[in-house]
Amino acid sequence: MRAVVIGAGLGGLAAALRLQGRGHEVTVLERRERPGGRAYQIKDAGYTWDTGPSLITMPWVLEEAFAAGGLDLRSEVELRPLDPHYRIFWAGEQRHLDFSSDRERMKQEIARFSTRDAASFDGFMAALKPIYEQGILDAGRRPFLRARDLAAFTPSMLKLGAALPLYRFVCRHFEHPRVREAFSFHSLFIGGDPFRVPAIYGALVYLQILDGAWYSGGGTYSLVEAMARPLDVRCGARVERIERSGGRVSGVVLAGGERIAADVVVSNADVLGTHELLGRPTPRLRATPTMSAFLLFLGTDRTFPKLLHHTLLVGHGYRDFITAVTRSGELPSTFSTYIHAPSRSEPGMAAAGGDSLYVLLPVPNLRSGIDWRAAADGLRDRLLADFEASFGLSGLEASVRVEHRMTPADFERELGAVDGNAFATEPTLHQSAYFRQPNRDRRVGGLYYVGGGTHPGAGIPGVLLGAEITTKLIEEDRAAVAA
């Protein structure tokens, strides 16, 4: 069988590895200069920045994806556990909270805010355990192609409270506002508003405590390089059209006109834009994309020891901030951000004596109409001033030697992300499982999907588990035709 994978994001690479591992002929077509998609990398003047995923969870999912392609993860990359996973600071709050896999330490951290909440921690984890087992280990590894798949899954999820908004679920267990925020923000990692996503995404907290947070030597991009190495990845190859014949895919056409024949096409391109590749009109009711992100990559001439490898800085008015970026389409007036400082674990990621800082600020996607050419400079200045004033990173602005940035307009232009979304389709209740873009196209034979916009969803483990589901479907469909 000849398979074409459109896009060399982590999901596309994982699907290609699995198909190649099964003996199929696979070509990956990538529109950018290098593979990786959202998991890209910038290097400049001795500084190295990952531009997308930086927190690695569920390493066994990576192990399985590598093994399916004949690779041994541990010999390909150097995975190191991080302890603590990250530190959370709140503006105007003296206390911080360290997240860790050590449950006793976790309780001590919580106790600095509320001893009652510390006592509730075990109950919280126990409540999440079946949600993780049924929602991730089971449902995250099988397709939701039919309504009856959903019907079979829903009653137990309802019983476990997994359909409640995540924040409300967390409030049932914890009373202190800071603890509630610390145990519900994780859905933001995949573009989900903690006040709206179903508590099934609380499994993200659970799995992190269960399996830890990891760093890959050289940055997350080392995973991309290892995955791409054994594959035929053609970069600078933008697919313009998926060709069909008799209701089945027959190949793809590249910008420039080259045609590549295929028995199976796996699209890792944005699922919200698939209609364009198929020459279909834009659907009237289209799924809602997630928020976007404003990313700053700063190379500094000194270090900022206050920052750990991963640090979260939660500003005043956190809930209003989330509403502004997810619903109101407004630039936030206060900032809640994530900062990655890989040089804390691997000094070689920054020029001598400095830090390579990657700042992630969630912002509205392009549906907001914000003109990023006009807005970006001012936002960058306000953000750095806020870091200095609210979080004690004084001297940051003056220390910047090299700087890059990525705005929602870049997400759209560089990655083909519809409306400049950062995390694909929003993970709300009515856009999850059966209601998400299925892994196999409902109308076109031989067309499959992989990546953040399809089931089970975004995040490194999400897209890798999705690649497992998609490639299993391909094999099952082939077996059914052969029978």
Ligand X SMILES: Cc1cc2nc3c(=O)[nH]c(=O)nc-3n(C[C@H](O)[C@H](O)[C@H](O)COP(=O)(O)OP(=O)(O)OC[C@H]3O[C@@H](n4cnc5c(N)ncnc54)[C@H](O)[C@@H]3O)c2cc1C
Interface with ligand X by CB under 6 A: which residues?
6-12, 29-32, 37-39, 52-55, 189, 238-239, 268-269, 293, 295, 360, 415-416, 422-423, 451-452, 458-460, 463
Nearer to ligand X, 34 or 112 (CB): 34
- Residue with smaller CB distance to ligand X, 120 or 311: 311
- Judged by beta carbon, residue 134 or residue 421, the one nearer ligand X is 421
Pair type for strands 233-235 and 25-30: parallel
Give the strand pairing for 41-44 and 47-50: antiparallel
Shortest distance (Å) from residue 380 CB to ligand X = 16
Minimal distance, residue 479 CB to ligand X, in Å: 25
Distance between CA atoms of residues 474 and 448, nearest Å: 8
State whether residue 184 is helix, strand or coil: coil
Nearer to ligand X, 164 or 408 (CB): 408
**Residue 22: CB partners within 8 Å, gap ≥ 6?**
471, 475
CB of 49 to ligand X, least distance (A): 11
Quote the least distance from Cβ 456 to ligand X, whole Å. Answer: 11
User: Which CB sits closer to ligand X, 234 or 319?
Assistant: 234
Q: Which is nearer to ligand X, 2 or 316 (CB)?
A: 2
Using an 8 Å Cβ cutoff, are 468 and 18 in contact?
yes
Query: Three-class SS of residue 92?
Result: coil
The residue (of 120 and 470) whose beta carbon lies closer to ligand X is 470
CA distance 334 to 189: 19
**Residue 111, both tokens:** 């106790």
How big is the chain, counted in residues?
A: 483
Rounded CA-CA distance 19/51 in Å is 27
Nearest to ligand X by Cβ — which residue? 9
Backbone angles phi, psi at 30, to 5 degrees: -125, 130
Angle at 211 between CA 361 and CA 468, to 5 degrees: 85
CB of 52 to ligand X, least distance (A): 4
Q: 377, 73, 47: which is closest to 226 by C-alpha?
A: 73
Cα–Cα distance between 325 and 368 in angstroms, integer? 9
Residue 124 CB, nearest approach to ligand X (Å): 22
